[in-house]
Structure 1
Amino acid sequence: MRPDDVPLLFQELSREFADVTDMSVAATGSLARGDHRTGPGGDVVSNLDLVHVVAEDADVPEVRHVVGRRMRRISDTFGIETTSVIARLPVFRQAGHAHYRISMRREWFCDGLELGVEGFELPGRDEEDPRTALAWMMQPVPYYLAKATSVDPTTNLAKARRAALRLADRFDLQLIRDGLDNLPRALHALIAERGVTPLESTARYLDAPTHPAVAQIVRDAVFVESMGLSSADSMVILLPSVPN
């Protein structure tokens, strides 16, 4: 897929989900933000990331079926890997400072839950609850650090550093900028200095960063915090079945 195809992709997603009534769907990640990566030939190499919000736990199996069928067509048409995550509505609302929420494109491809523009709003301003905002903004750093223990260390360590810099820039944290070479120690220092209660995923990583299963432990905790579902129940990943 070429960069010029991104608007067409979003138009096609709106058509694909136009008749859906049991979920609200939006894009998140780099394509939603407009800072997606391109390869040497100029093709988009970033994945398409979508969030599918459901009201009831009982809706999840059917939503997974619908998402898999409809996103297969999108993935094949545009030759792009798609990652869909299903989120329970109460947790989606509580996780307003989560990284995927902050990255969302402020337009629903379908809004069966009638969340409206308010569905993109944060639950509170950073200055009103800075410790909570800090705890959520930390979450991607240990997530990528943990992931680096088992998958593509170079890429995931780089992602952890980028997440740390976003955290530092948002809250003007010099100790994070100075601690990029030892992010676990920098996070410990930030938690102590600001009196932050870390999310479970962050605490689990910092308690045992070298545990052989830490990547899965942190991943599961992140999904429960952010989506209200395990990663196995939440994620639908599709690779294109036709050449790009």
Structure 2
Amino acid sequence: MRPEDVPLLFQELAREFADVTGMSVAATGSLARGDHRTGPDGDVVSNLDLIHLVAEDAYVPDIRAVVGRRMRRISDTFGIETTSVIARLPAFRLAGHAHYRISMRPEWFCDGLGLGPEAFDLPGHEDDPRAALAWMMQPVWARMAVVVVLTWHYTGYNAVIYLAGLQSIPRELYEAAMVDGAGPIRRFTSITVPALRPVLLFTVVLSTIGTLQLFDEPYVLTGGGPDNATLTVSMYLYQNGFRYFDFGYASAIAYALTLLVSVLGAVQMRLMGEKDK
């Protein structure tokens, strides 16, 4: 399925479940959010994930048979993998902060239970311990959490390096500039920044390399989710090598990462060499 066929897919879903009663159906995951992934040939590789909500006393086996037939038609028509979850309404309401609920499409393809848009509101009270981490289920805020932790990680390290660089600048340069009438801004741009140029290059390149090798923070905070929103190169390598046991592909990723780090190191040495000249 091509990316431009996604709207047609949702239109077909709406028609497929238009005559369904006693059930509410919504999409979840990357296709629902619009951040689905594509393969090298441009085809969509993300699965179509649907959740079907039924009443508490519904007979799930019969519903599973009906849903299965409709999902197979959708899968065959668009050439996409589909997954479907059938949940009773009380369980859905209790799982208010689960991944699949936070990432749901904000409307129903069919709403036979009459739940309405408010069904997607986050339940619970302000003192609910689960509510504190509900925002981590959303891709944008999950990325922001990783960025904040990463910034805290490197701030102290880089501050020590900058402090050492500042202390190595001769005070005589500042005194001479003050005698010549240079103000604070002029002294900063003409003395401090040029003198710190090697330090700036070192910290920028080192931070970039550390970011390319980032693993601990997203692994601990989000596990690469939600829906691979915080997946890094190192985590992708780890998943392919030690979760899927595709060691050949993982080795290729490692070599590519090593090459990229080497190129950045060479750029750093080139820039510092020009400074020496």
User: TM-score, length-normalised on structure 2?
Assistant: 0.51
Give the 3 Å change call, closer, same or farther, for CA 87–182 of structure 1 in structure 2.
Answer: same
Alignment match, 2:88:
88
Alignment match, 1:174:
149
- Once the two structures are superposed, residues 30-52 of structure 1 have per-residue CA deviations (whole angstroms, 9 ceiling, x without a partner) of 00000000011111010000010
- Once the two structures are superposed, residues 71-117 of structure 1 have per-residue CA deviations (whole angstroms, 9 ceiling, x without a partner) of 11000000000010111101211222211111111111110100011
Q: Supply the RMSD in Å over aligned alpha carbons.
A: 3.2
Alignment match, 1:19:
19
Q: Percent identity?
A: 70
- Once the two structures are superposed, residues 102-145 of structure 1 have per-residue CA deviations (whole angstroms, 9 ceiling, x without a partner) of 111111111010001111111147xx24621246677x8xxxxx
Retained in 2: the 8 A contact 1:175–1:186? no
CA distance in 1, matches of 2:106, 2:34: 12
- Which has the larger share of helix? 2
Number of residues of Structure 1 aligned to a counterpart in Structure 2: 162
Give the 3 Å change call, closer, same or farther, for CA 186–33 of structure 1 in structure 2.
Answer: closer
- SS for the counterpart of 1:131 is coil
Give the 3 Å change call, closer, same or farther, for CA 58–167 of structure 1 in structure 2.
Answer: same
Retained in 1: the 8 A contact 2:146–2:218? no
Retained in 1: the 8 A contact 2:25–2:51? yes
Give the 3 Å change call, closer, same or farther, for CA 36–173 of structure 1 in structure 2.
Answer: same
Alignment match, 1:46:
46
- SS for the counterpart of 2:27 is strand
CA distance in 1, matches of 2:5, 2:152: 36
Post-superposition shift, 1:177?
8.3
Amino acid at match of 2:38: T
- Once the two structures are superposed, residues 151-188 of structure 1 have per-residue CA deviations (whole angstroms, 9 ceiling, x without a partner) of xxxxxxxxxxx97x95473699738986952778779x
Give the 3 Å change call, closer, same or farther, for CA 175–41 of structure 1 in structure 2.
Answer: closer
Retained in 2: the 8 A contact 1:18–1:110? yes
- SS for the counterpart of 2:45 is coil
Alignment match, 1:133:
131
Alignment match, 2:264:
none
CA distance in 1, matches of 2:50, 2:110: 12
- SS for the counterpart of 1:104 is coil
CA distance in 2, matches of 1:32, 1:69: 21
Matched, 1:99 2:99: yes
Alignment match, 1:60:
60
CA distance in 1, matches of 2:43, 2:152: 32
Q: Which has the larger radius of gyration?
A: 2
Retained in 2: the 8 A contact 1:99–1:137? no
CA distance in 2, matches of 1:31, 1:88: 23
CA distance in 2, matches of 1:90, 1:21: 18
Retained in 1: the 8 A contact 2:14–2:110? yes
CA distance in 1, matches of 2:31, 2:102: 13
CA distance in 2, matches of 1:112, 1:46: 27
- SS for the counterpart of 1:76 is helix
Structure 2 residue runs of 5 or longer lacking an equivalent are 154-213, 223-277
Give the 3 Å change call, closer, same or farther, for CA 123–11 of structure 1 in structure 2.
Answer: same
